[in-house]
Structure 1
Amino acid sequence: MKYSQVREDLLKKQRELEDRLGRIDQHLTKPGNQDWSEQAQERENDEVLEAIGQEAALELRSIKLALRRMDEDEYELCDSCGETIPEARLKAMPFTRHCIRCAERLQG
């Protein structure tokens, strides 16, 4: 496979994110402190952890989609126009589903 190193990197990142999400979930489900002021601080911390968890979950979905696209031999194809995404773009942005032209059009 042409992108075997990219695949390996994505799988490693997937494992790291799954581990991180597991630790976040573990922290968020543990019982709270009995002290009200401590509970307030814990809640603030939980909000930060929830935001980090949401970002990690989004990145994890992107990784899984990229891996599926590799399995289906669609990794190099732009979702919008069907043209080939340049190899350099895929290596720089392994989650991308769009060529530069379509990505710019979607952002603008």
Structure 2
Amino acid sequence: MTSTAKRKAELEARRDFLQRRIAGIGAELDSHDAKDWEEMATEREGDEVLEDLGQSAQTELRMIEAALVRIEEGEYGYCVTCGEKISEERLDLIPATPFCAEHAL
């Protein structure tokens, strides 16, 4: 059984990684200075991918922040819908999940 303190440390490490990743994506998006249309089109395609990655990271970051709040409140590891304990296996796969397997759908 993984301790709450260990899960908190893992969530904080992932949060820090995502914050750096989001900052890097923002810097990359701001760095373009193509002059011709062909280069601008190529950069725009790349920007769309970066924006999707950034949005995905922001979604995961919100989930992690919510999980850290649940840890502080002593509610981490319990389903927010039914209140039942979330299985260790599920928390191993998705540490920030607020739902048991039954209510995840």
Same fold (TM over 0.5): yes
Percentage of pairs with the same residue = 41
Deviation at 1:102, TM superposition (A): 1.9
Amino acid of the residue matched to residue 90 of structure 1? L
The Cα of 1:54 is off from its aligned counterpart by: 0.7
Whether 1:81 and 2:82 are equivalent positions in the alignment is yes
Q: Which structure has more helix as a fraction of its residues? A: 1
Match of 2:38 in 1: 37
Partners of 2:15 and 2:61 within 8 A in 1: yes
Counterpart residue type for residue 44 of structure 1: E
Secondary structure of the corresponding residue to residue 34 of structure 2: coil
Unaligned regions of 5+ residues in structure 1, if any? none
More divergent stretch after superposition (92-101 vs 54-63) = 92-101
Superposition deviation, residue 31 in structure 1: 4.2
Q: Which structure is higher in RCO with an 8 Å CA cutoff and minimum separation 6?
A: 2
C-alpha deviation, 1:81, in angstroms: 0.9
Partners of 1:52 and 1:31 in 2: CA distance = 17
- Residue in 2 aligned with 1:55? 56
**Is residue 2:66 matched to residue 1:65?**
yes
Number of residues of Structure 1 aligned to a counterpart in Structure 2:
104
> Residue 4 of structure 1: CA displacement?
1.3
Runs of 4+ in 1 over 6 A off after TM superposition: none
Q: TM-score, normalised by structure 2?
A: 0.89
2:32–2:43 contact (8 Å) kept in structure 1: no
Listed as ranges, the gaps of 5+ residues in structure 2 are none
